[in-house]
Structures are given as C-alpha cells and as structure tokens.
A and B are shown apart, each in its own frame.
Chain A
Amino acid sequence: MRALLALILLLAGAPAPADPPPGYDFLDHDAGFKRARAEGKPVFLYFGRYGCAWCDHVNRKTFSDPDLKRLYGDHYALVYVDAEGAGRIRLPGGERITEAELGARLGAFATPLFVYLSPEGRVLAKIPGFKTVQDFRDYDRYVRGRHYEKQTLPEFLGSKP
C-alpha cells in the first residue's frame, strides 16, 4: 500500500520539464561555448529559473515563432542556464563556478535574462524580461552586425536602424 501511495505521489508530482523553450537546440553552458568556439558563432544565453512565469510567457509567445527559431538556431550557439542551478560550469577564463553563481556575476536580477556573448565570453548585450519576436530580431541585427563595437544597444535601437 505504501509503495502504491509512493508511486501515485511520484506520478502526480512529476514536474514540468525544464524551462528552455521546446524544440530549440539549447546546450548546457560548457557545451554551448565549445560549439560557439568551434563554429565561430556568438552565444545566446538564456538565463531562466525553474517555475518562472515570464520564462513560460516568452517561451509561448515569442520562441514559438518558427522563423525566430530558425534564425537563432542557425546563427547562435544556444545556451540555457538554470538561475538556481547547482550544475558546475567553466567560464572562458578557466574558473569553475555554479550556474547560480553565474547569475550573481551577471547581475541577473530577473528571469528570463538573455545575454549575448562572444565565443570568448565577452558580454555583448544583456536583456531582461519578456521580449517580442521583433525585439529578438533587432537584438540579432545588433549582435551579428557587430554594432556593439560602436554603439550601446539602446543607442542602436534609438537610431531606428
């Protein structure tokens, strides 16, 4: 009886899957940076939290767009980091820290947080919160157009390119 109750509890309590958007080829931190270096692509780091409502919202409303999925899948190494995660990652400089510690280093005050990085780990842009498909297209043009070399992201967006 106890075993049956335990099984029921186990099945009833089965959690939702982890929180990156479905259908995307998100990798863990180290594998993602390895891919970025191998393929010469920037990193798109999705900093999410287990159970995060706004992550859920952006996954449903924005990342469900098939063209956006193709755009980011083709041109970025996709990395998902759990804001409260215990998993160990290796920073490009060699330091070993946990996923949650990466949040402290990035000043992640809200999730989702989207960070664009060079394969060497340089932060190119950092954007918190819910964003639309068009927002992510604009950020893509900023990053892949290397506008960060001359403009901040607000300057770029304000120039209505």
Chain B
Amino acid sequence: MRVRAAAGLAGLLLGLAAPAAQAQWQFGPAVDVAVGGVFHHLDASGRRALAVSGRRLGLVWEDNRSGAPRCYLALGRTDGPAFREYPFGRGECFEPAVAGLGDGRFALIWEDETGVNAAVAGISGIGQALRLAPAGGHGSLAWHPRLGLAAAWSATEGPWRRVWRQALTVEEGRPVASGPARPADPWPAADHQAWPVLDASGAGLTLAWEDRRPGHTVIFYSHSGDGRVWTLPARLSRNPTGRVNDQLGRGTGAMRPALAGFGEGRLAAVWLDKRDFLSGYDVYAALSDTGGLTYGPDGKAQDSFGDAIAQWHAAVAGNARGDLAIAWDDDRDGTADIWVTRLKADGRYADNVTPEPASGAGAQTDPVIALDEQGRLHLAWIERDGEGQSRLRYATGQP
C-alpha cells in the first residue's frame, strides 16, 4: 500500500505511538471477477454494488459481453477470492445494486426493459423478481434486522425525476411489497431528484438523494425509526446556495450520496462536493450519532494532497464493530488510482492510501467497498487500459 511520501513520513512519526487498531488494511493480490475485454460498470446508486451477508460476499455489475448492457451477480466468501457468477435482468440492464440480508442471502435491485425490479439471491440462484416500477432507475436497497427490507429508486413524474421508496418483506425467497410505493418528499415535484441511497443503522433506515429544487444539486435525506413514518426531507450537504458576483449561477454542486451504518447506531453520509469549484469535486462526509436522524457538520474526508484535483466515485462502508472506510479514485499520482481513508478513533480521517493492487499504470477507478465483521475491507474496481476496455477487479484488505 503506497502512501504519499510526506503523509507517510508524518504517519510514520505519529504512528510510532498509534494503537494497532489504527493500522491500515494490507491488501492481497487482485483477481479478475468477470470476463475482460468488455466495458464493465460499477455504477450502483450510492455505489452499493458490493455487500457482505454472513460469510458471503455479493458483487453486482453491468457489462456488455453479450453485445448489450446486462447485469451480473458474483457470489463469493468473505475469506476467499473465488466467485460464482449469475446473470440477471431482462434485456438491457443498468445500475444493479445489492444489499446483504445477513443470512448469506442478498437482495438485488436493477433497471431493465421491464422497469425497476428487485429479487433475492443466494448460492442456489436468483429468485423471482418483483417489479417495483414500470420505469425508472438508480435503485437502492437496505435491510434492517427489525424493520425488514426497503427499496428506493428514481422515476419520472411529469417533467421531473422523483425519488420513491417502498417497504418490502422477504417471503419464500422473494421480495413482496408491503403497502404502496411513496415519494420520498410529500410535496409535488418541482425539479429533479435522483440517485437515492438507503442504509440501515441501529436507529432505523435512512434515505439520501440528490435534489435540484434549490436551483443546483444538493443532498437531502429522510429518516425512519420504524420503517413506516419518515421525517420530512432535510438538507444534508452544506454546499452554498445562492448567486455570486453580478447575480450569477445558483449555487455549487453536490452529487452521488452514499451511506453506511457503523458501530452502535452511527451512520456516515458521503458525497462528491464542488464547493471548492476550482479543483473539481472533493469527497465530503457528515457523521450521525443518532443513526441517521441528525448529522454533525460536514467536511472533507480526503487529505490535503487531493485538494488540487478532482475526486470521483466516492463510496463508504461500515461494520457493526465500528470500522468506517471511504474510497474513491483520483489521479494525484499521475494516473487514476483507488484511494482509501478510514475514520480514526479521534474522529478524524486517516491519511489517504492507495491499495497496491489498485494503483499504478492504467486507470483504476469506480471503487465499491464493503467491511465484514472481522474488519476486512473488500474492494472491487474497474481497471482500464489505453484502449478503453476494462477488467473487473477484486482484492481483500486485511486489518
């Protein structure tokens, strides 16, 4: 694992007294998950394309090996890099996302030619799909041990995309709708909402999404402690709204929220934020000690070596023992590499590191991550050569 030289020196000096629990992950070699030489995409809403369920690992993606975009699930074990692959979806398929059900099974959501669909998958295969909406995309799922399964997606209503949520139960290996789908915001749509992400904490379920109603893109959220009653949407990102010199523009951008529950009832929200508009998007995060109901101040999760360049594809993962990891890609070292930070015990973010198998020549982008209860960081990403075609890669980081 490479660390920026200066940061590494500082870390070395400071690290002499650091507890072992603050060590970074040591990554093993990368493996190819899927056939190469095609275009792979890990673009689940909230970057929820990798999940842990018991001792199993589920990874979903889309690639065009058949000549058109199709969705695939790879199931493996958290202690080994071998995967078994399952195709799913009808016709062209986009933005698959996955959530662990805690018992070795996974819930899937995706967009295909029939609309937005969900299904339950395990080593015996993928069960019968439930159509959530006849059209739409950006699906996300979360499973809560007490509240069950929840789904969210965006779909067009009139001129706008709008975020919808749906309570689900899992019965006989398939998702079943529990009541009607409802909009995340009770007010009539007035601009686009998109890219919802759901996650669970001990306190309940949280839904975050992009919202353009302020005239620019910001992050909103809503929370439910019982899975039925949701708080009125509130703003999560503090990227400034308003015009600047000579009445120009409407505000800076924030996009692609990601959520992760961790520890005892904590939740992290991460997104790309352009409030520093001259250097591209930065990785911002806000933490909730109330399980997603309220949040502390937001701030950069990346270190200052990444300040002058753009960050992309921010992902976050947590586990019950309290680990929290954030990953993204940027080209601070000359080529696009995966970068990772973690939340330290003092509440600050660690120096950024790039896992050895996900750095170097070529472009390593689009990370998706999951943390298991042993503290292992599971990482999948896209590697592109100069010809533009890609490989889907996976590696495990040992704590």
Known: A10-B188, A57-B248. A86 touches B310 (CB 8 A): no
A129 vs chain B, min Cβ distance (A): 9
Q: Tell me the total A-B contact number using a CB cutoff of 8 A.
A: 104
- Chain A residues 82 to 101 lying within 8 A of chain B, measured CB to CB, are 83-84, 86, 88, 93-98, 100-101
Is A16's beta carbon under 8 Å from chain B? yes
Is B279's beta carbon under 8 Å from chain A? yes
The contact of A56 among B249, B274, B278, by CB within 8 Å, is B249
Is A13's beta carbon under 8 Å from chain B? yes
Is B266's beta carbon under 8 Å from chain A? no
Binds B, one of A25-33, A65-73, A104-112, A138-146: A104-112
A121 vs B193: C-alpha distance when bound (angstroms): 30
A97 vs B390: C-alpha distance when bound (angstroms): 13
Is A22's beta carbon under 8 Å from chain B? no
Is A55's beta carbon under 8 Å from chain B? yes
Point out the residues of chain B lying under 8 angstroms from A86, CB to CB.
137-138, 154, 161, 194-195
Is A1's beta carbon under 8 Å from chain B? no
Smallest Cβ-Cβ distance to B137: which chain A residue:
A86
A100 vs B154: C-alpha distance when bound (angstroms): 16
Point out the residues of chain B lying under 8 angstroms from A100, CB to CB.
255-256
Point out the residues of chain A lying under 8 angstroms from B212, CB to CB.
15, 50
Smallest Cβ-Cβ distance to B256: which chain A residue:
A100
- Chain B residues 247 to 263 lying within 8 A of chain A, measured CB to CB, are 248-253, 255-256
The answer to whether B250 and A16 touch across the interface, beta carbons within 8 angstroms, is: yes
The contact of A6 among B43, B64, B138, B188, by CB within 8 Å, is B188
B160 vs chain A, min Cβ distance (A): 10
A93 vs B39: C-alpha distance when bound (angstroms): 10
Is A40's beta carbon under 8 Å from chain B? no
Q: How large is the interface on A (under 10, 10 to 19, 20 to 34, 35 or more residues)?
A: 35 or more
The answer to whether B191 and A15 touch across the interface, beta carbons within 8 angstroms, is: yes
Is B65's beta carbon under 8 Å from chain A? no
Is A38's beta carbon under 8 Å from chain B? no
Is B216's beta carbon under 8 Å from chain A? yes
Smallest Cβ-Cβ distance to B279: which chain A residue:
A109
The answer to whether A54 and B43 touch across the interface, beta carbons within 8 angstroms, is: no
A39 vs B249: C-alpha distance when bound (angstroms): 34
Known: A57-B248, A86-B161. A51 touches B310 (CB 8 A): no
B186 vs chain A, min Cβ distance (A): 9
Is A52's beta carbon under 8 Å from chain B? yes
Smallest Cβ-Cβ distance to A14: which chain B residue:
B190
- Chain A residues 1 to 56 lying within 8 A of chain B, measured CB to CB, are 6-7, 9-10, 13-16, 49-56
Is B115's beta carbon under 8 Å from chain A? no
A129 vs B208: C-alpha distance when bound (angstroms): 31
Point out the residues of chain B lying under 8 angstroms from A111, CB to CB.
277
B82 vs chain A, min Cβ distance (A): 28
The answer to whether A108 and B249 touch across the interface, beta carbons within 8 angstroms, is: no
Known: A15-B215, A95-B39, A107-B310. A51 touches B187 (CB 8 A): no
The contact of A108 among B248, B255, B280, by CB within 8 Å, is B280
A51 vs B331: C-alpha distance when bound (angstroms): 26
The contact of A13 among B213, B249, B331, B388, by CB within 8 Å, is B213
Smallest Cβ-Cβ distance to A59: which chain B residue:
B248
Point out the residues of chain A lying under 8 angstroms from B251, CB to CB.
51
Known: A10-B190, A107-B331. A56 touches B253 (CB 8 A): no
A16 vs B213: C-alpha distance when bound (angstroms): 10
The answer to whether A51 and B215 touch across the interface, beta carbons within 8 angstroms, is: yes
A83 vs B255: C-alpha distance when bound (angstroms): 10
The answer to whether A53 and B191 touch across the interface, beta carbons within 8 angstroms, is: no
Point out the residues of chain A lying under 8 angstroms from B188, CB to CB.
6-7, 9-10
Known: A9-B190, A51-B249. A84 touches B210 (CB 8 A): yes
A67 vs B98: C-alpha distance when bound (angstroms): 52
The answer to whether B274 and A49 touch across the interface, beta carbons within 8 angstroms, is: yes
- Annotate B214-258 by CB proximity to A: 1 below 8 A, 0 otherwise: 011100000000000000000000000001111011111101100
Known: A15-B191, A94-B64. 15 other contacts (CB 8 A): A16-B215, A49-B216, A50-B212, A50-B250, A51-B252, A51-B253, A52-B249, A53-B248, A53-B249, A55-B249, A86-B138, A94-B39, A96-B39, A100-B255, A108-B310
Chain A: residues with CB nearer than 8 A to chain B? Answer: 6-7, 9-10, 13-16, 49-57, 60, 83-84, 86, 88, 93-98, 100-101, 104, 107-111
What are 24 inter-chain pairs, A to B, with CB distance below 8 A? A7-B188, A9-B187, A9-B188, A13-B190, A14-B190, A16-B250, A50-B215, A50-B216, A51-B217, A51-B250, A52-B249, A53-B244, A57-B248, A84-B253, A93-B388, A94-B64, A95-B64, A96-B39, A96-B64, A100-B256, A104-B310, A104-B312, A104-B313, A104-B365
Chain B: residues with CB nearer than 8 A to chain A? Answer: 39, 41, 43, 64, 69, 94, 137-138, 154, 161, 187-188, 190-191, 194-195, 210, 212-213, 215-217, 243-246, 248-253, 255-256, 274, 277-280, 309-310, 312-313, 331, 365, 388
